[in-house]
Amino acid sequence: MAGVKPSLAVDLNGVVFPLPVLAAAGCLGTGRDGGGLVDLHRLGGVVTRSLTLHPGKGTSTPRMAETAAGLLTAVGLQNPGVEAFVSEDLPRLVRAGVPVIASVAGASLEEYIRVASFLHSNPGITALEVYLSAPDDERGGGRPFYSHLERIIEVIGSVARLSHIPVFAKLPALLPDLEETAGACVRAGAHGLTLIDGVPGMSVDTAKLRASLSTVIGGLSGPSIRPIALAAVYRVAQAMPDVPIMGVGGIGTGDDAVEFLLAGAWAVQVGTAMLVNPSAPAEIAQGIHRHLKTKGFASAADLRGRLRGNEYAHGHWTGNGEESA
Amino acid sequence: MAGVKPSLAVDLNGVVFPLPVLAAAGCLGTGRDGGGLVDLHRLGGVVTRSLTLHPGKGTSTPRMAETAAGLLTAVGLQNPGVEAFVSEDLPRLVRAGVPVIASVAGASLEEYIRVASFLHSNPGITALEVYLSAPDDERGGGRPFYSHLERIIEVIGSVARLSHIPVFAKLPALLPDLEETAGACVRAGAHGLTLIDGVPGMSVDTAKLRASLSTVIGGLSGPSIRPIALAAVYRVAQAMPDVPIMGVGGIGTGDDAVEFLLAGAWAVQVGTAMLVNPSAPAEIAQGIHRHLKTKGFASAADLRGRLRGNEYAHGHWTGNGEESA
Amino acid sequence: MKRVRAEILNTKRLGAYHSLTLVAPEVADRARPGQFVSVAMPNDRSFMLRRHFSIHQASRRGGWAGTLEFVFDPHGPGTSWLAEAKAHQFLDVIGPLGKAFAYPQKLNNCLLISEGHGSASIYFLAQELRSRGKRVDMLIGAEDQEHVFKPIEGKRLSQTIAIVTEDGSLGERGRIVDMLPTMVDGVNAQVIYAAARRGTLREIADVCAERQIPSQIAVEEQMACGVGMCFTCVVPVIRKDGSGFDNLRACSEGPVFNPARILWDRWMGDEPRMLPTPPEGFPPVRTWPG
Amino acid sequence: MKRVRAEILNTKRLGAYHSLTLVAPEVADRARPGQFVSVAMPNDRSFMLRRHFSIHQASRRGGWAGTLEFVFDPHGPGTSWLAEAKAHQFLDVIGPLGKAFAYPQKLNNCLLISEGHGSASIYFLAQELRSRGKRVDMLIGAEDQEHVFKPIEGKRLSQTIAIVTEDGSLGERGRIVDMLPTMVDGVNAQVIYAAARRGTLREIADVCAERQIPSQIAVEEQMACGVGMCFTCVVPVIRKDGSGFDNLRACSEGPVFNPARILWDRWMGDEPRMLPTPPEGFPPVRTWPG
Ligand SMILES: Cc1cc2nc3c(=O)[nH]c(=O)nc-3n(C[C@H](O)[C@H](O)[C@H](O)COP(=O)(O)OP(=O)(O)OC[C@H]3O[C@@H](n4cnc5c(N)ncnc54)[C@H](O)[C@@H]3O)c2cc1C
Ligand SMILES: Cc1cc2nc3c(=O)[nH]c(=O)nc-3n(C[C@H](O)[C@H](O)[C@H](O)COP(=O)(O)OP(=O)(O)OC[C@H]3O[C@@H](n4cnc5c(N)ncnc54)[C@H](O)[C@@H]3O)c2cc1C
Ligand SMILES: Cc1cc2nc3c(=O)[nH]c(=O)nc-3n(C[C@H](O)[C@H](O)[C@H](O)COP(=O)(O)O)c2cc1C
Ligand SMILES: Cc1cc2nc3c(=O)[nH]c(=O)nc-3n(C[C@H](O)[C@H](O)[C@H](O)COP(=O)(O)O)c2cc1C
Ligand code: FES
Ligand code: FES
C-alpha cells in the first residue's frame, strides 16, 4: 500500500472536492483579491466571504488585533452584496475551475432566504454555507442567530428547503449542546456542517485603556483555537459519523489537517494561516499526502475517524475520574 | 495622584483579598505541593483543587498535551477528598495566612451539598467556588452540569442556601447565553462569579493516530484562551456591574491582569502561568501596581470597567456592520 | 507583487531606527515610493502575523542593484526579532504592496512632510521627484533627535528642509503642524506629500483642505494579510461622486490616499466626533489626484 | 529545590545528543542521581511549558564545583531551542527535582540498565554507587551507535558492560530485553536500576519480578509543572499494604519508583490490557525498596 499514490479527492456525500483543503469564508476576499498569491488550482474549493443582500460596509477600524498564537478580527460582514458578487467576482472563480461554496449571511430570516434564493441556482456555485454568527436583528440585543436553537433551525430549514444545492451549517464551538444543535441542523435539511466559526474573544490596549477592536468583541482565529475546533469536530463526528463535516480553526500544516481528518472531518478549511502564508492550503494538501504515504493510507477519506481507541474515553468529553476510591 | 502608593487590596462586596491575584483552582495542588516555590504571602488567595466527597484518583495518563500557546489537561478531579483536605492541607494554608477559597465539586447534586456542608463552616475558609464542569452523573451522557441551566441553578442554589460564606459560581465561556446564566446564578444566591474554566479542547498525536489525552477532550488553558476569557468577563460585567467577578484564563503578566480589571474583573486568578513560573502571581501583582502608578490610579478597584468608550460598540458583541449601504 | 525568499545583505542601526537591506530583485525592480513589503515572522512564536514596512530604497541599477531597504523602530516582538536578524539569514517577503504616490504632471513645488519612520518612504519619494525635475522641500518631525531619520540625507535630498522635534533636541522645538503654514508659504508649496502619525496626518489634511493644495498621504492601519484578502485594514474614503463612502483596504487600495477624501472623524474613532453620512451625501472632492 | 538563573558554561554535541553544563551551585550541591531539573522556555514562543531533563553530572568539588550537566536529544521545539543556546546565556532552572535512586545497604552487585538518554542519569548513579564501594555492571541499549551515550565513559564506570543496538552498529544487535537474562546471571545481579523507554522498563520489570530482584527505575511522564502542583504526571502505584493504588506524581513522588509496584497495564494505556482493581485488592509488594 505504501507504494500506491494516495488520492486526495474527497466526496462529502456527493459534494466532491479535488483536494481536501478549502479556503475558509472571509479569508480569500471575494475572488478578486489575494493578488494572485493563492493558487486557486491548488485549493479544494473556495468559501466566499459571507454575503448579504446589499453591499455591507462592515465595522470601523481597528478591525484586528494579534493575540497569543491568535488573531482577533471584526470585519462585520463587509462584502459587495450578493448581486455584485455574482456578476463581478464569481466568474473569476468559475474560470479558475475551483468549486465555490457561497457563504450566506443575513440580519433577518428574510434576508437569509433572499440571499440564498439569489445564489442557489447559479451553476457556478457548488454548495451554500450558512453563517449563523450574524446578529439577529429580529430578536435584538445584538445576539447572533446561533444563540437560539429555534432560530438556527428556522434559518437552516428555510435555506435548505429552497436550495437546489447542498447546504452546510457553520456552527460556533460555543454551544454546550453542540451535538444536539448539529443534529437539529441536519434534521432541518443541512447536508453537512462546518465547524467552527471564530470564537468570541477580546483584547485590551492597556496603555490606551481601550478595547483593541472597535466592536470590543471579535472572532478569535488561528492556532490558539485549534484544540477547540478539533474537539468540536470530534464531538459532532462521534454523534453523527455519516454527516459530512468540514473542519476549520487554526489549521496551518499538513499535520494539523491530519488531526482534523482523524478526529472525523471530511475536509478542512484554512483561514488565518492563509493570511500569513498564501500557499498554506497547497502546503497543507501536500502534507496530508505525505502523511497518507507514510502511514500507508489510500486516500484522505481513509483517515476519517481513524483515531485509535483511547482507553478511558467513553463519550466523556470532560474527564472526571473513572474510579473514585 | 501619581505620587500616591496605589493600594492593591480588593473588596469583592465583603470578600477582601490583600492582593488582586489569586492562585486558580487545581494549579497549586492542595497546599502541600509546589515545593515552596510559590510564595503564599504574595498571593491574594488560594483556590483549592476541586474537592469531592471521597478521594478521587482522576483519569489515567496522558493527562496533558501542549498546544499553540496553550495547555490541554484532564486531571479528572484527582483530589484527597474533602476530609483529608481539611485535616491535612487546610491547616498549612491557614498558617500561611492566605485567604482560602474551597472549590466544590461533585458528581451529583447530593455530593455538591455534602462537600459544601463539610467546608462552609470551617473558619479557615473564606469562600466557596463551585466547579460546574464535573460530569453530571444523574443526567448521564458524561455531560457536565453546566450544560443545563436548571442544573446550574439547582447546584448553585443548594450550595448558596446552606453556606454561611460567600459562594462563587465558576462558569465556562462555552455558553451563548453567558449573561443569562450568570444572572441566574446570582439570583440563585451566588455572591459572585469566576470566569472562565478551561475551554474544552483536544489534540491528536498524528504519528500514533491517537488523541493526546486519555480522555480525548480536556480543558484548554494558558495564553491561547485569554481573549476568550476576557470577552466572557466583559460580557458579564457589562450585564451586572455590581456582581464581583474573578477573571481567569491565560493571565501571565501584570498587563494581562490589567486587561481583565479594565474589562470588569474585581480580581484575577492565575493557573497555567504559575505552573511555568511559580512567581507569576507575585510578578503580576507588581505589574498591576506599576500600571496603577503610571496611570495615576489610586487602587486596583479603580481600574474596574474603566475601559474608554469604543465608539461603535453598543452591546454588539459580534460585530456586524453598523451601516449597510 | 511577488513572494520571495530574500537574503539579508546588511543590517544596521541608525539612531533610534534599524535598517535591513535585502536581496530581492523581483521586488526591488517594481518598487515605487509609498509601497511597502510584508515580512513573515518565524513560525514557532506566539506572534504569527506578517509585519509591514514601507520601502525606503529599491535599487535597480549599480552595485546595489536588486536590493531593497526598509527601516523600523524596534519596539514590539516583530520589530525586535527583525533587529536581531543576521546578515545572510533569509526572510519571507511579499512586495511591492499597495499603491504608490502619484507624481504631479505639471505642478512643480513639492513639500514632503514626514514624521518618525515616515521619512523612510518620503526620502525614496524625494529621490524620484527630483529625478523627474521637481523641486523638493522637506518638513521633518520627530519626538527627539534620535528619531529624526538620517537628517543629512534629508538635507541632501531637499532644496530647503525644516526639522522639528518635540523636545527641541534637533531643529525647532514643536510639532509639524506648528511649522506647516509658514513652510507652505515659504516654499510656495503646490503639492504636499506626507507620511506621519494619524493625528499629524489629519492636521496636515486640514491645512491642505483649507488652502486647496492637492496632496497625498501614506497611512498605516493594522493589517492582517497585507494583500487584500482579509479586509481588516480599511480606511473610510468618500466616493468621487460624493454619493457616500467606501471602506477601502489600505493594503491594496492604499496606503496612499487623497486626504481630502478620508472621512477623518470616522477613521479616527478615538475622538468621538463622528458624524453620520449627511442625507445629501458628501461634497464631491475636487483636489488632485481625485 | 531551588529556582535559579543559571549561566551556561558549556554547550556541546555528543553523538546524537547535546550536553549543557550550567553554573548552578544551589542546585548542584543537592543533586542526586535520578533527580532532574526543569528549564524554562523563552516567553515569546508558541510553546511555553518548562522542559525536564535528568541530571547527568553535579559537581560539588574541584574545578567544576557548582556546575550541573544535562543531556538531551534535540528533536522538538524545546530541545531544539536549547541546542541553539549559547555559552554565557542564562537559563531559568528549577532543581533538583524528584526523588533520587536509593542506594542498597547490604547488597553489593548492581546492574545498571539504560536506554538512549537514560544513560545520563545512570552514569551519575554509577559514580555514586562506586564511591560507596558497590560493584557496577552495565547494560546499555540504543537504536544505533549515534544514540549510545558516551560508551567510553560507560566502560570506565563499570566492571563489565554490554552494549546492544537495534541496528547492530555498536555492540550486539538486538534489544535490552534480549540480553537481560544472561547479563543478570553473568554478573550475579543483586539489585537492578534502570532508565529507559516505558516499554523497555516494563520488560525489565517483568524480569525483576520473575527473579525477585529488588529494583528501581526512573520513569518519564508528561509534566506540566515538574514541582508537584498540577497532577498531570501521575503513575499508578500499588499501595504498600495492597489495599489499592494511588496515582503518584512522577515529578515529586517519583520519578524513581519500584517497578514491582507500578500498575503497568493501567499506566501503559496504549495496550488495552487494563484490568480492574481486583476486589480483594492487589498483593502487597515485598521487593526492596518497598
Ligand atoms: C503600510 C505600512 C507601512 C509601515 N511602514 C513602517 C516602516 O517603514 N517602519 C516602521 O517602523 N513601521 C512601519 N509600519 C508599522 C509596523 O508595521 C509596525 O510597527 C510593526 O508591525 C510592529 O510590529 P511589532 O511586533 O514590533 O510591534 P507590536 O506593536 O507589538 O505589533 C503588534 C501587532 O500590531 C500591528 N501594528 C503595530 N503597530 C502598527 C502600526 N503602526 N501600523 C500597523 N500595524 C501595527 C503589528 O502588525 C502586529 O500585528 C508600517 C505599517 C504599515 C501598515
Ligand atoms: C523526569 C524527566 C526527565 C527527562 N530527562 C531527559 C533527559 O535527560 N534527556 C532527554 O533528552 N529528555 C529527557 N526527558 C524528556 C524531555 O523532557 C522531552 O524530550 C522534552 O521535553 C521534549 O521537548 P521538545 O519541545 O523538544 O519536544 P516535544 O516532544 O515537541 O515536546 C512537546 C511536549 O511534550 C513533552 N514531552 C515530549 N516528550 C516527552 C517525554 N519523553 N517525557 C515527558 N514529556 C515529554 C514536552 O515537555 C512538551 O510539553 C525527560 C523527561 C522527564 C519527565
Ligand atoms: C479576516 C477574517 C474574516 C472572516 N470572515 C468570515 C466570514 O465572512 N464568514 C464566515 O463564516 N467566517 C469568517 N471568518 C471565519 C473563518 O472562516 C474561520 O471560521 C475562522 O477564522 C477559523 O479558522 P482559521 O483559524 O483557519 O482562521 C473570518 C475569519 C477571518 C480571520
Ligand atoms: C492542571 C490544571 C488543573 C486544574 N484543575 C482545576 C480544578 O480542579 N477545578 C477548577 O475549577 N479548575 C481547574 N483548572 C482550571 C483553572 O482553574 C483555570 O480556570 C484555567 O486553567 C484557566 O486559567 P489559566 O489559563 O490561568 O490556567 C485546572 C487547570 C489546570 C491547568
Ligand atoms: S491587510 Fe488584509 S485586506 Fe488589507
Ligand atoms: S508535573 Fe505537575 S505535578 Fe508533576
- State how far the Cα of C279 lies from the Cα of D163, in Å rounded to an integer: 88
C206: Cβ–Cβ under 8 A, 6 or more apart, which residues?
Answer: none
Decide if C45 and D47 are in contact by the 8 Å CB cutoff.
no
Q: Binning pLDDT at 50, 70 and 90, where does residue B139 land?
A: confident
**In a 10 Å sphere around its CB, with 0-12 CB exposed, 13-18 middle and 19+ buried, how is residue B2 labelled?**
exposed
Contact of A311 with chain D, judged by CB distance below 8 Å, is answered with: yes
Would you list the DSSP string of C97-134?
A: ESBPPPPPSS--EEEEEEEGGGHHHHHHHHHHHHHTT-
D260: Cβ–Cβ under 8 A, 6 or more apart, which residues?
Answer: D205, D208, D209, D215, D285, D287
D233 CA: nearest ligand 6 atom: 4
| Distance in Å, alpha carbon of D272 to nearest chain A alpha carbon | 7
CB C161 within 8 A of CB C124: no
Does residue A321 have a pLDDT over 60?
A: no
Would you list the DSSP string of chain D?
A: -EEEEEEEEEEEEETTEEEEEEE-HHHHTT--TT-EEEEPPPTTBS--S-EEEEEEEEE-SSTTTTEEEEEE---SHHHHHHHH--TT-EEEEEEEESBPPPPPSS--EEEEEEEGGGHHHHHHHHHHHHHTT-EEEEEEEESSGGGS--HHHHHHH-SSEEEEETTSSSSEES-HHHHHHHHHHHHT-SEEEEE--HHHHHHHHHHHHHHT--EEEE-----SSSSSSS--SEEEEE-TTSS-EEEEETTTT-BEE-GGGB-HHHHTTTS----PPPTT-PPPP-STT-
3-class secondary structure per residue, C21-62: EEECHHHHCCCCCCCEEEECCCCCECCCCCEEEEEEEEECCC
CA of A27 to the centre of ligand 3 (A): 6
Decide if D228 and B29 are in contact by the 8 Å CB cutoff.
yes
Omega of the bond leading into D181 within 30 degrees of 0 (cis): no
Decide if A35 and C233 are in contact by the 8 Å CB cutoff.
no
> Cβ(C230) to ligand 5 under 6 A?
yes
Q: Binning pLDDT at 50, 70 and 90, where does residue D209 land?
A: very high
Would you list the DSSP string of C178-211?
A: HHHHHHHHHHT-SEEEEE--HHHHHHHHHHHHHH
Q: Binning pLDDT at 50, 70 and 90, where does residue A318 land?
A: very low
Does residue B244 have a pLDDT over 70?
A: yes
Q: Quick one: closest CA in A to C229, which residue?
A: A29
CB A201 within 8 A of CB B231: yes
Would you list the DSSP string of D39-101?
A: EPPPTTBS--S-EEEEEEEEE-SSTTTTEEEEEE---SHHHHHHHH--TT-EEEEEEEESBPP
CA of D200 to the centre of ligand 1 (A): 52
- Nearest one of C155, C146, C176 to C17, comparing CA atoms: C146
Residue nearest to atom 18 of ligand 4 (CA): B197
Site to probe by mutation for ligand 5, drawn from C37, C39, C233 as the one with most ligand atoms within 8 Å of Cβ, is: C233
Question: Which one of B272, B276, B311, B323 makes the best mutation probe of the C interface by having the most chain C beta carbons within 10 Å?
Answer: B311
How many beta-carbon pairs below 8 A join chains A and C?
101
C121 CA: nearest ligand 1 atom: 8
Q: Binning pLDDT at 50, 70 and 90, where does residue B249 land?
A: very high
**In a 10 Å sphere around its CB, with 0-12 CB exposed, 13-18 middle and 19+ buried, how is residue A14 labelled?**
exposed
CB A156 within 8 A of CB A190: yes
pLDDT of residue B63: 95
Decide if A27 and C221 are in contact by the 8 Å CB cutoff.
no
Residues of A in contact with B69 (CB under 8 A): 68-70, 223-224
pLDDT of residue C103: 95
Q: What is the mean pLDDT of chain D?
A: 91
The stretch A177-202 carries a mean pLDDT of 96
pLDDT over 90 for what percent of chain D? Answer: 87
Site to probe by mutation for ligand 5, drawn from C38, C50, C223, C257 as the one with most ligand atoms within 8 Å of Cβ, is: C223
Q: Binning pLDDT at 50, 70 and 90, where does residue B142 land?
A: confident
- State how far the Cα of A119 lies from the Cα of B43, in Å rounded to an integer: 58
Which ligand places an atom closest to the C-alpha of D37?
2
- State how far the Cα of A292 lies from the Cα of A297, in Å rounded to an integer: 5
How many beta-carbon pairs below 8 A join chains A and B?
305
The stretch B171-184 carries a mean pLDDT of 92
Residue nearest to atom 49 of ligand 2 (CA): B66
C233 CA: nearest ligand 5 atom: 4
C174: Cβ–Cβ under 8 A, 6 or more apart, which residues?
Answer: C164, C166, C168
Contact of A20 with chain D, judged by CB distance below 8 Å, is answered with: no
Classify each residue of D216-247 as buried b or exposed e, where b means 16 or more C-beta atoms within 10 Å of its C-beta: bbbbbbbbbbbbbbbbbbbbbbbeeeeeebbb
Does residue A319 have a pLDDT over 80?
A: no
Q: Quick one: closest CA in C to D81, which residue?
A: C44
| CA within 13 Å, CB half, A196 | 33
| Distance in Å, alpha carbon of C48 to nearest chain A alpha carbon | 7
Which ligand places an atom closest to the C-alpha of D234?
6
pLDDT of residue A47: 97
| Distance in Å, alpha carbon of A267 to nearest chain C alpha carbon | 22
Decide if C269 and B69 are in contact by the 8 Å CB cutoff.
no
Residue range B17-50, pLDDT digits in tens = 999 999 999 999 766 666 678 999 999 999 999 9
The CB-based long-range contact list for A110-116 (8 Å cut-off, 24+ gap) reads A111/A52, A111/A53, A112/A155, A112/A158, A112/A159, A113/A158, A113/A159, A113/A162, A114/A53, A115/A51, A115/A52, A115/A53, A115/A82, A116/A158, A116/A159, A116/A162, A116/A163
Residues of B in contact with D1 (CB under 8 A): 35-37
C1: Cβ–Cβ under 8 A, 6 or more apart, which residues?
Answer: A35, A36, A37, C94, C95, C96, C97, C227
Sign of CA dihedral C209, C211, C214, C219: negative
The stretch D39-52 carries a mean pLDDT of 97
CB C161 within 8 A of CB C137: yes
At C169, phi and psi to the nearest 5?
A: -70, -20
| Residue A206 one-letter amino acid | T
CA of A47 to the centre of ligand 3 (A): 10
Residues of B in contact with D231 (CB under 8 A): 26, 29, 49, 58, 63, 75, 78
Site to probe by mutation for ligand 5, drawn from C39, C53, C230 as the one with most ligand atoms within 8 Å of Cβ, is: C230
> Cβ(D14) to ligand 6 under 6 A?
no
Residue range A217-235, pLDDT digits in tens = 999 999 999 999 999 999 9
- State how far the Cα of B192 lies from the Cα of A81, in Å rounded to an integer: 45
Does residue B220 have a pLDDT over 60?
A: yes
Does residue A247 have a pLDDT over 60?
A: yes
Residues of A in contact with C237 (CB under 8 A): none
| Distance in Å, alpha carbon of B105 to nearest chain C alpha carbon | 34
CB nearest B69 (choices: C46, C244, C274): C46
CB nearest C269 (choices: B69, B223, B312): B312
Does residue A312 have a pLDDT over 60?
A: no
Q: Binning pLDDT at 50, 70 and 90, where does residue D278 land?
A: very low
> Cβ(D99) to ligand 6 under 6 A?
no
pLDDT of residue A3: 53
> Cβ(C248) to ligand 5 under 6 A?
no
CA of C205 to the centre of ligand 6 (A): 60
Distances (CA, A) of B47 to B29, B52, B100, C39, D224: 10, 14, 6, 44, 19
Site to probe by mutation for ligand 3, drawn from A27, A72, A213, A224 as the one with most ligand atoms within 8 Å of Cβ, is: A27
Does residue B322 have a pLDDT over 70?
A: no
The stretch D42-68 carries a mean pLDDT of 92
Residue range A20-76, pLDDT digits in tens = 999 999 999 766 666 678 999 999 999 999 999 999 999 999 999 999 999 999 999
Regions of chain C with pLDDT less than 50: 271-279, 285-287, 289-290
- Nearest one of B168, B158, B148 to B47, comparing CA atoms: B168
pLDDT of residue D276: 43
> Cβ(D51) to ligand 6 under 6 A?
no
Q: Is A274 helix (H, G, I), strand (E, B) or coil?
A: helix
C-alpha grid cell for residue D208? Answer: 525483576
Residues of B in contact with C46 (CB under 8 A): 68-69, 223
B141: Cβ–Cβ under 8 A, 6 or more apart, which residues?
Answer: A315
- State how far the Cα of B102 lies from the Cα of B41, in Å rounded to an integer: 18
- State how far the Cα of A100 lies from the Cα of A93, in Å rounded to an integer: 7
Query: Partners for A (CB, 8 Å, 3+ pairs)?
Result: B, C, D
- State how far the Cα of B126 lies from the Cα of B97, in Å rounded to an integer: 11
- State how far the Cα of D95 lies from the Cα of D56, in Å rounded to an integer: 13
Q: Where are the beta strands (DSSP E) in B139-211?
A: 167-171, 192-195, 199-202, 204-205, 210-211
Q: Is A273 helix (H, G, I), strand (E, B) or coil?
A: helix
pLDDT of residue B315: 33
> Cβ(D193) to ligand 2 under 6 A?
no
Q: Is B171 helix (H, G, I), strand (E, B) or coil?
A: strand
pLDDT of residue A102: 97
At A94, phi and psi to the nearest 5?
A: -65, -40
Q: Is A194 helix (H, G, I), strand (E, B) or coil?
A: strand
pLDDT of residue C280: 53
